[in-house]
Structure 1
């Protein structure tokens, strides 16, 4: 059954296939986003708005280490998808074994370093004043669970590369539901505060990993690796690293962005401004779930068909993914524009934050209808194994455009300069990505090789 499902990536109609791949991915991302969203609501209402800011300070560090797992997962999954498309199962197995070994080695090293420099990292990421103490509590506990999360994120991308999006969806739902239940028990019922919030998150990572381990040991996975596959293969590691570096670089830039944003906003408006950004950041994770789901669903389809040299299907998958994502992005845009005040009131009762967040949120989401092109374009190059353009296009928005904007515009426009940087970066990076994607389609995907 597993073999048939993987081969279906090259047979079924692209529109139907994209829906089948994207819907479970979207549901999984939705549940994970709801987890982050509701977790923030719980923390804001049961602990306070300073606790929201504290979690926002910790996220870049823990997310960067966890992103190692996702980077290794996506880099290796690109190889696995193309290997399955080319009917080279042994290469797929060796790649999966190398992914596990590499994830374990790197995340354990980084957790040790992260705990060693805790008193430097938290203030550097904006954990100053009243934010420092709760941030340190949350950071210490959550970091212990990051290797579990990294392995789970890596495994989830491999599940999708096998053409099993429903199991990938379940893997994302389990920790989300578990975290919310444990939040209620640890924070509301047991009164453990930030300590309880941190342990709820860490335990949820372990639940996710347990399910993924079960999947790969079960009959549903065709990737049955042996001990010999765990031995590091330089050729495979090089390709995993080059493709995974795209994802890791993106998360590194996200972490740098959090660092800069937290510090810039703290200097402009104190703890309340950091809390405003924390709420907007949660909405960015939550509201864009359907667009991100389409992007996740698109990756294995493009990779498999590119490996099978079915270039017409690759073109079809690009066009269909962009169309679906643009429609969904437009709906997200409309929801934010009309309901931003109601959204903010769910997170906090602080009147200043309720007043300041809605206009900032509208600026941040202003270019949402067009970002699909940027996301799908960068994802295409990663899916087909073209690391350099994937890296440059992935970094174009936040690295090359957004960071310079938030360093310059606030000098002239204050806090509003921070918020208008978002749509400007979205528009400019979309134009750049559109140009290179169109060029790639004309030069590489036009030959009618295999239907």
Structure 2
């Protein structure tokens, strides 16, 4: 067996120990990220008001689309990588990771341009009202600028876990979340930037997370990435996307659900004494709380996937 593969803990350690080692960092990172989302809504609610909360819920489907594609690439590549490492095919594993890097950069830049050009129609599609549209455009135009970094964060974390470094993946997510939590009150309350402040805090956290992940991708434990591996190969890309389809579908389904719920709240909320914007804001806050509850189960499932794949 290749020496690098033999060094991979997925092929040497006991399954029970591996499950603990991989699941706990994954749970921590997802729960902390959920807590950040809750705290973010508190800061926006206190510093901007319910229209700011509603605006973030309008932009949520856009970020969910990006996350769905990032998860498809990341989980698909992690599966492809683990399957090949399990067979001792390190060169194939490296090619899969190199293709994933090229795919991540290409798709994220394309979405950045597309969503910036059609941001206002998309906001209307996802339930924007006359009251929250200016906030949604202000928040969304900045958030979209961070798409390349956000997609790196979403895709590379799974790949790094498949390399046998679950704690490293956790640290990257924590860097982004903690940075965001620190900068949110500074930008919103001290600088008085409103929803722009919340958006910039998010992007800066994503950039730091992405820089950390890129640095980690340059020092793989189980494979060696070379320039030739980053040349897109259709057979490899097809296999990656096929393996990641389930992750994409599960995440992309939330985009449809949010769009339907937002538009329903706008239509029927306007008939109530609260109007359309308050129900939109309430839905956004409730969804952030629910992420904390489901984060534990999702952390376990995400953490043990590299073990099953190998």
- Specify if TM > 0.5: yes
CA contact (8 A) 1:160 1:300 kept: yes
CA contact (8 A) 2:7 2:222 kept: no
Q: What is the distance in 2 between the residues matched to 1:232 and 1:155? A: 17
Output aligned runs, 1:52-67, within 5 Å: 52-67=53-68
Greater RCO, CA 8 A, separation 6+: 2
Q: What is the distance in 2 between the residues matched to 1:3 and 1:182? A: 41
Q: Is residue 2:33 matched to residue 1:32?
A: yes
Larger Rg: 1
Q: Which runs of 5+ in 2 are unaligned?
A: 270-275
Q: What is the distance in 1 between the residues matched to 2:242 and 2:83? A: 16
Q: What is the distance in 2 between the residues matched to 1:107 and 1:248? A: 15
Output aligned runs, 1:79-90, within 5 Å: 79-90=80-91
Q: CA deviation at 1:11?
A: 3.9
Q: CA RMSD in A?
A: 1.6
Output aligned runs, 1:204-353, within 5 Å: 204-218=205-219, 221-269=221-269, 270-304=276-310
CA contact (8 A) 1:65 1:111 kept: no
Q: CA deviation at 1:251?
A: 2.5
Question: Could you report, residue by residue, the CA deviation over 1:182-219 in whole angstroms, capped at 9, with x for unpaired residues?
Answer: 1121111111001111111111111001101111223x
In structure 2, the residue corresponding to 1:130 is in which secondary structure?
coil
Distance 1:5 1:279, change over 3 A: farther
Q: What is the distance in 1 between the residues matched to 2:16 and 2:297? A: 15
Question: Could you report, residue by residue, the CA deviation over 1:120-178 in whole angstroms, capped at 9, with x for unpaired residues?
Answer: 10011011121111011010000010111101221111011112110011011000001
Q: What is the distance in 1 between the residues matched to 2:267 and 2:15? A: 49
Distance 1:257 1:290, change over 3 A: same
Q: Which residue of 1 aligns with 2:79?
A: 78
Q: Name the TM-score, length of structure 2 as normaliser.
A: 0.93
Question: Could you report, residue by residue, the CA deviation over 1:285-332 in whole angstroms, capped at 9, with x for unpaired residues?
Answer: 22222111100112101100xxxxxxxxxxxxxxxxxxxxxxxxxxxx
Q: What is the distance in 2 between the residues matched to 1:143 and 1:221? A: 33
Q: What is the distance in 1 between the residues matched to 2:256 and 2:102? A: 27
Q: What is the distance in 2 between the residues matched to 1:295 and 1:33? A: 16
Q: What is the distance in 2 between the residues matched to 1:260 and 1:154? A: 27
Q: Which residue of 1 aligns with 2:171?
A: 170
CA contact (8 A) 1:69 1:103 kept: yes
Aligned residues: 302
Q: Which runs of 5+ in 1 are unaligned?
A: 305-451
Q: CA deviation at 1:4?
A: 5.3
Q: What is the distance in 2 between the residues matched to 1:43 and 1:123? A: 21
Q: CA deviation at 1:115?
A: 1.1
